[in-house]
Amino acid sequence: MMTFFSKKFGEYPFEKYGMVAVYPFRYGGMEHQTMTTIHRRWLDGNFEGGIAHELAHQWWGDLVTCENWAEIWLNEGFASYSDALYTEYKYGVEIFRTKLKSWARAYFLEDSALRYPIYNPPPAKLFGTAVYYKGAWVLHMLRNLIGDSLFFQVLKEWGRRYAYGTGTTQGFINVVNDITGRDYSWFFEQWVYDSGYPVLDFSITSIDQDNLKLSLQLRQIQKNARIFKFPIDVRIRNQNFDTLLTLWTYTADTIYIITLGGSVSSGNIEIQVDPDEKILKNILSVTYVQSPLSLNFDLHQNYPNPFNSITKIPFEIANDGKIYECEVIVFDVLGREIKKIFSGRLGAGRYIINFVADGIPSGIYFYKLTISDSGRQIYSRIRKMVLIK
């Protein structure tokens, strides 16, 4: 364990290390520089993760100490991910991912009761689940974003630059930016300084007669949280092909047109979203529809209708080989624009757009699909929906 951490983080920073088992002790373990106090039950060999966590604090907590309580995730999130890294090294990637998934579930449970950022958490949550487990996930996502080589260079430089002193989140961001040569401030803004996590809904539809082209719609449907920017892997395969795509999402509703290298129609299709567990997220549903397309444009009735807070608006783009400018806009009964829920270029396909009515009062509303070709409107239709809160 000491050898592994020294290889990944830099040479062990002190002259010795030991552990003392005590009882009674209200905690599992508490690190001090060169000496960790552990509960005597840890001696039974079933608390290896705790041993790794406390040893990692010799680097992340003692070599580099968080400057103040607002920065506590730099101690606890780092030590937690160090525990996970040792699990990956000793037991393999599947056990590593299982640990991360269990931490994600624990974080989601706490978040459902109280949502807070891991930077400057409320006093009662200084050592909360988010600080430990979401903090670990932040490092895991950063690792997958920049790659292993740069990630472990970042950790070593973090330890070197702030050795035997204090560090801040901004200081860590500076290290990341210096090592990678890119500005990752946006990453920390959404995952560290802000709270919450993405909740995702996927739908995939075959959109040509040979089923060689797919429309993939990714919706972020989280409430009381920002829209996140991140890359996510989608694996699509059957007996004829196996394709792994990396898709970036920046908006609440993103549509991708994907051309595959084989026939989807031969054999059952399997779709895996984030198969390697790279992103902290909750996936509500993944649906796949394989059906021939209409040759016409159409705007369908929303569902559910009436609705409370969120509804789905389906529409179709004609299967004629062209790409069209499309807009879906919601209006009130006076004709005032309430929200533009989609604006972009689309080819043939069946699409579903989420309308989230946060901050909008109950009442009758209308939604309009407009389709244009080179600036000339060629299709328009309006339908009515009812919002009841």
From 13-17, 73-77, 175-179, 198-202, the region with the lowest mean pLDDT = 198-202
Cβ neighbours for 301, distance < 8 A, ≥ 6 positions apart = 383, 385
- Residue 257's nearest CA partner among 213, 225, 219, 314 is 213
Q: How many CA atoms lie within 13 A of 358 on its CB side?
A: 8
Structure tokens at 295: 């040759």
Per DSSP, the three-state class of 169 is: helix
- E strand spans, the chain: 18-22, 29-32, 35-39, 64-66, 165-167, 199-206, 213-220, 230-237, 242-249, 253-259, 270-273, 282-289, 298-299, 310-317, 324-331, 337-346, 349-356, 363-373, 376-387
- C-alpha–C-alpha distance, residues 144 and 133, integer Å: 17
CB distance 47 to 28 below 8 Å: yes
pLDDT of residue 290: 63
pLDDT of residue 148: 98
Helix (H) / strand (E) element for 101: namely: helix 93-113
Q: Is 115 left (phi over 0), alpha (psi -120 to 50) or beta?
A: beta
Cβ neighbours for 26, distance < 8 A, ≥ 6 positions apart = none
Helix (H) / strand (E) element for 103: namely: helix 93-113
CB distance 200 to 233 below 8 Å: no
What is each CA distance from 375 to 323, 349, 372, in whole angstroms? Answer: 12, 20, 6
- C-alpha–C-alpha distance, residues 173 and 188, integer Å: 8
CB distance 206 to 216 below 8 Å: no
| Per-residue pLDDT reduced to its tens digit, 11-35 | 999 999 999 999 998 888 999 999 9
**pLDDT-based confidence at residue 289 (cuts at 50, 70, 90):** low
| Per-residue pLDDT reduced to its tens digit, 111-134 | 999 999 999 999 999 999 999 999
Residue at token pair 């990453």: 187
- Is the pLDDT reported for residue 330 higher than 90? yes
Kindly list the structural domains of the chain, giving each domain's residue range(s) and its CATH number in brackets, ordered by start. 2-193 (1.10.390.10), 197-289 (2.60.40.1840), 293-389 (2.60.40.2550)
pLDDT of residue 269: 72
**pLDDT-based confidence at residue 169 (cuts at 50, 70, 90):** very high
pTM for this model (two decimals): 0.79
